[in-house]
Structure 1
């Protein structure tokens, strides 16, 4: 039997199905309850952005910095059995300052160390997501006192169960620079194969056209979708959109790099279900788990682009009232 989100959930009693699509299922519930009920070795990729440990409580739920590490590690522990041996866990974690001090918290690094040392995950590679559109923050240290620069980079940990998880870098190649394109036209005029002073060996393969350059671990994606379909439609419906969303480009990068067609992608902190929507577009199976019924239901809007507003309103009503429609 082909594994799908629908039969994957056959024996799951925790959580409630909010809506389904051709490729995925949105569930409302606590991931700590649902994860242990998923079949072992069934998930190819977990990509998620958990609520950050902010100093002020947010409406979408966040933990105190001191309790954050144990809290997040508990989810990673519950997720490990469901993850395939070749699977990956990708976690986007933002930084924060300590209360009342211009000194950074180390929570995201403590989480990483706990996941590796205590749970046995491997750090395949660390990534950094740069959001050039992020507003200056925190206000006290950046805007008022002007003693710190704008914080616009999140850490993103790519973790795996083994040293050699599934990965396809050709799927995320980027366009060559202008100078590299000139080199590829006439490699001999640019360099001769030899060992450089640094010890790097520049061979003939350096002049091969691979269809694009390998990306770096610095990912620069603006989080500026204020006029995107999801935000715009939420406003037209008179509803509050989820306040903490990562750009579609972020899960897209990791889904392309770490999964193949029809592989299974899971987001354990679904939010507005950016991950599920991207997975659907890329031809992956997906499951999104979100604790808030309000946000889980509203995330269905992402799959209704092209439909007239009255129809979207009616479908959203059906989702909210528990009819669990297929979108």
Structure 2
């Protein structure tokens, strides 16, 4: 995997942002900025002095200085810096830096934070993974749902969804090791327009992932959450024609079922007291036949001592999560907007244990509050997460402060006011 110090060299954008974040009162004139970038190695001093003819008029300009000014304009569009009135070439951090939602522009890649095991990058996922060339064992993600009323972080429409997700996953699938897996937590409550009939987008997506990307379906695993608010509100609570939803589907797919790297012994659950009693007694101590001979119980059935029981292919978890509560506290302390749809860390934790071993690489192109990275970090897996909303990745960084080798990009210190 490309190490984090190598990632830190790929974004002049990040170095420009860091220069403002670390400056006195967040103010720099352009000459000071050029000097800082030259000292840090972001630009060579001699490159700053080189001028070449640019444009139809052939006016002489410095390409290096123009690159820096382009990044200044990107920071301005994101609401992070502003011109100082009456002072040519002088910029400063805005008071509102980090208060609204700022999405990474095309080709912007900023190493937001890192640990000894992984990196979180503020970027559109395609700008990172299209150029990524490292074996991936698992991708586990909860991509934006196709909602009719998009959330603050943006959602593709139902009509766009299959193309959107296939395009995002294609470079990741290209780097999957043989038997590697793709795990997608998808939204169930998507309906046909003005109809209580549920959308078939998940079925269309499943077929497209098979037909376009060559993935095979290993399982559809319901994530059952009985603490979900009653919904869909219009069809269940107002018109009373639907049942309230209590699950979301999780698709588990692989590029090679014959080599799939899953091992259910890594996710064994504790035996019930009844099973433990049977094992202590040496078995059921009875004989029975059920289902016209399909199932037989013998006196020694259930008597073998085992480490635990194999989980059912249903995950029952509430959405309450200690990590979510911690993230909310940190976001509020930093003055950051809260993510509107957070997945509990238990979900990626389960699939990372089932589908990987320590040291293997886990990725998430739709990082959100970086729960996939957090679960991978705790389980000793390497990880790479991308997220295009600056404020979400900044708030998530606080969950990693106790991790070995933690480092926060200086530019993010200004986001949220800390």
TM-score by length of 1: 0.87
Which secondary structure state, in structure 2, belongs to the residue aligned with residue 77 of structure 1? Answer: helix
1:300 aligns with 2:394: no
Of 246-255 and 297-306, the range deviating more from structure 2: 297-306
> 1:138 & 1:252 partners in 2: Cα distance?
28
- Whether the aligned pair in 1 keeps the contact of 2:112 and 2:394 (CA below 8 Å) is yes
> 1:186 & 1:8 partners in 2: Cα distance?
59
Which position in structure 2 is the counterpart of 1:33?
127
Pairs aligned (count): 312
> 2:171 & 2:266 partners in 1: Cα distance?
29
1:45 aligns with 2:45: no
Supply the RMSD in Å over aligned alpha carbons.
2.7
The unaligned stretches of length 5 or more in structure 1 are 307-314, 323-327
Report the Cα offset of residue 30 of structure 1.
Answer: 1.5
**CA-to-aligned-CA distance 1:15-54 (integer Å, 9 cap, x gap):** 22111112110101121222121115x1111000000001
Which secondary structure state, in structure 1, belongs to the residue aligned with residue 130 of structure 2? Answer: helix
TM-score by length of 2: 0.69
Which position in structure 2 is the counterpart of 1:121?
215
- Whether the aligned pair in 1 keeps the contact of 2:278 and 2:302 (CA below 8 Å) is no
> 1:114 & 1:32 partners in 2: Cα distance?
19
Report the Cα offset of residue 297 of structure 1.
Answer: 2.0
Which secondary structure state, in structure 2, belongs to the residue aligned with residue 118 of structure 1? Answer: helix
> 2:353 & 2:153 partners in 1: Cα distance?
28
What are the within-5 Å matches in structure 2 for residues 1-327 of structure 1? 3=1, 5-6=3-4, 9=7, 15-40=109-134, 42-95=135-188, 96-163=190-257, 164-192=259-287, 197-200=292-295, 206-225=302-321, 228-304=325-401, 318-321=411-414
Report the Cα offset of residue 86 of structure 1.
Answer: 2.6
Highest relative contact order (Cα 8 Å, sep 6+), 1 or 2? 1
Which position in structure 1 is the counterpart of 2:81?
none
> 2:204 & 2:185 partners in 1: Cα distance?
14
Seen in structure 2, the aligned counterparts of structure 1 residues 121 and 196 have a Cα distance that, compared at 3 Å, is same
Seen in structure 2, the aligned counterparts of structure 1 residues 94 and 190 have a Cα distance that, compared at 3 Å, is farther
The structure with the larger Rg is 2
> 1:82 & 1:218 partners in 2: Cα distance?
29
Of 50-59 and 182-191, the range deviating more from structure 2: 182-191
Seen in structure 2, the aligned counterparts of structure 1 residues 231 and 316 have a Cα distance that, compared at 3 Å, is farther
**CA-to-aligned-CA distance 1:272-306 (integer Å, 9 cap, x gap):** 10111111111111111111222222221211369
Report the Cα offset of residue 146 of structure 1.
Answer: 2.1
Which secondary structure state, in structure 1, belongs to the residue aligned with residue 116 of structure 2? Answer: coil
Report the Cα offset of residue 224 of structure 1.
Answer: 1.9
Seen in structure 2, the aligned counterparts of structure 1 residues 173 and 120 have a Cα distance that, compared at 3 Å, is same
Seen in structure 2, the aligned counterparts of structure 1 residues 316 and 28 have a Cα distance that, compared at 3 Å, is closer
Report the Cα offset of residue 320 of structure 1.
Answer: 4.7
Seen in structure 2, the aligned counterparts of structure 1 residues 188 and 68 have a Cα distance that, compared at 3 Å, is closer
Report the Cα offset of residue 56 of structure 1.
Answer: 0.4
Which position in structure 1 is the counterpart of 2:57?
none
- Whether the aligned pair in 1 keeps the contact of 2:330 and 2:395 (CA below 8 Å) is no
